[in-house]
Amino acid sequence: MPPPRTGRGLLWLGLVLSSVCVALGSETQANSTTDALNVLLIIVDDLRPSLGCYGDKLVRSPNIDQLASHSLLFQNAFAQQAVCAPSRVSFLTGRRPDTTRLYDFNSYWRVHAGNFSTIPQYFKENGYVTMSVGKVFHPALGLLQDDSSHHCVPGISSNHTDDSPYSWSFPPYHPSSEKYENTKTCRGPDGELHANLLCPVDVLDVPEGTLPDKQSTEQAIQLLEKMKTSASPFFLAVGYHKPHIPFRYPKEFQKLYPLENITLAPDPEVPDGLPPVAYNPWMDIRQREDVQALNISVPYGPIPVDFQRKIRQSYFASVSYLDTQVGRLLSALDDLQLANSTIIAFTSDHGWALGEHGEWAKYSNFDVATHVPLIFYVPGRTASLPEAGEKLFPYLDPFDSASQLMEPGRQSMDLVELVSLFPTLAGLAGLQVPPRCPVPSFHVELCREGKNLLKHFRFRDLEEDPYLPGNPRELIAYSQYPRPSDIPQWNSDKPSLKDIKIMGYSIRTIDYRYTVWVGFNPDEFLANFSDIHAGELYFVDSDPLQDHNMYNDSQGGDLFQLLMP
């Protein structure tokens, strides 16, 4: 079934709800316990940890902070590649990009790498009704033949189907207004409509009178209402678009962030010791009409200071808008009395640079691009079960100045990776945790490359990973990013597989970030660690922003090969 098209949303919903009924009657319940926990997985696009619960004193995110106050929050979680499709396929399969062989947007792992199981597929095979709303796998802009208008449809990286039917009990939902995200819907100072980077809107003025994330929230709530009476447990993944560019959000959220309160990035200059291969020229925002009008030089810019403040303002406003959608979703979960039987996992596919190192995008191995929020709420584990009539997640208005910042319920400072999401969710739900992958694992359908994080929840009744670090310095998070050239060029941000010449492999420990850029053969998917093009070494304590590259003062690439997984 294709995603919904204009004017067909209600019809689609009716078909979906019918499909739910069929799924409820036909799913084989391998996990037959009546008290199985549901799962709500919230995936946000381009969200760095600019949230109150992560210590950001400017951003107003009361609903996400409230979730964190009842949860376990990981302070040091990292994505495996800072771009949408590769990151999502990586953590949804529990495999690293070198195993999924997806570094761009142009292949489907089941065809080009291996028939790897996904998180929702595993839950579906264990008796869950699995549902997808919004941007979970990566969509692509497609051209519908019947009306010649552009619509977002599932991309190549999920076989144009969001990995259906493997992962989902019925066809995933994509909001109909998604198709307007990159069109001329931003009213400029001239009164005309533009395709801008900065796009605060009057929601009543935009096509369909709504925005994608609003539609996704509404759809997710309707599905929760349907599942309330189900005898089967559910796995619901909800993917939100904002704060992904363009910054298209209800204009009232700008008022939360007066420009005079917006500071520049603490390190807005390109570091002197940064190898050119490590820099990304943020070509995607350069394509927006308002950025084009600035006539910024390629590749290093810089963007005028007043416009830098406006970008940061709109990013933060988009985060607060996102927070209201998360708040409405969690409040509905509460109202339906599902909060005492539903695990909630909240994360992002990667971060986004807001002027740090002179960059305005993801597409790198820096912390600002790879560091993500990761929050788990487990009823009765991270918080006491709510009493009758008690609400854990009442909706909080970010415009209410009386809202108090809530401290996270529990925190872990350990370095963790998004590839740990698969084994951790499985274990929290009481399912058998998939085994660790052998090397290589292309022939193995069900295994995982990430560590099981259950030890952080202090479960005594679940088997934990044998890996119990006695020293935080033994923990490592791995990231990587491809480049087509040693110097920044038009496709440095998002090179196609065939154009990849160099791969940057990065190690993040509690003490340092260490990256080597090595030769890469895209035909054989092979990195040549004897062909080192450049390196980076930053010491976290003395250089938390990663501005002072000490690689040339170190022993080069020798240490890296010792630490590779």
- Residue in 40, 43, 377 with CA at minimum distance from that of residue 220: 40
d(CA 226, CA 173): 15
Q: Are 558 and 529 in contact (CB under 8 A)?
A: no
User: Beta partners for 248?
Assistant: 199
Q: Are 176 and 9 in contact (CB under 8 A)?
A: yes
d(CA 560, CA 554): 11
Tell me if residue 84 is catalytic: yes
Max CA separation in the chain (angstroms): 64
Tell me if residue 350 is catalytic: no
Return the beta strands (E) in 95-230 as ranges: 129-134, 139-143, 150-154, 186-187, 193-194, 198-201
Dihedral angle of Cα 225, 177, 328, 124, to the nearest 10 degrees: 50
Q: Which residue has the tokens 């401290």?
A: 407
Question: Does an H or E element contain 120, and which?
Answer: helix 119-125
Cα torsion angle, 435, 93, 529, 537, sign = negative
- Residue in 103, 67, 68, 73 with CA at minimum distance from that of residue 88: 103
d(CA 426, CA 117): 13
Non-local CB neighbours of 558 within 8 Å, separated by 6+ positions: none
d(CA 206, CA 214): 13
Cα torsion angle, 83, 89, 217, 389, sign = negative
> Annotated catalytic residue: which of 21, 53, 70, 84?
84
Strands 186-187 and 150-154: unpaired
Backbone angles phi, psi at 278, to 5 degrees: -80, -15
> Annotated catalytic residue: which of 21, 53, 112, 138?
138
Cα torsion angle, 149, 151, 157, 159, sign = negative
Pull the structure tokens for residue 331: 């409040």
d(CA 507, CA 479): 7
- Residue in 247, 235, 241, 237 with CA at minimum distance from that of residue 185: 247
- Residue in 405, 525, 503 with CA at minimum distance from that of residue 68: 405
Identity (one letter) of the amino acid at 283? M
Report the catalytic residues: 84, 138
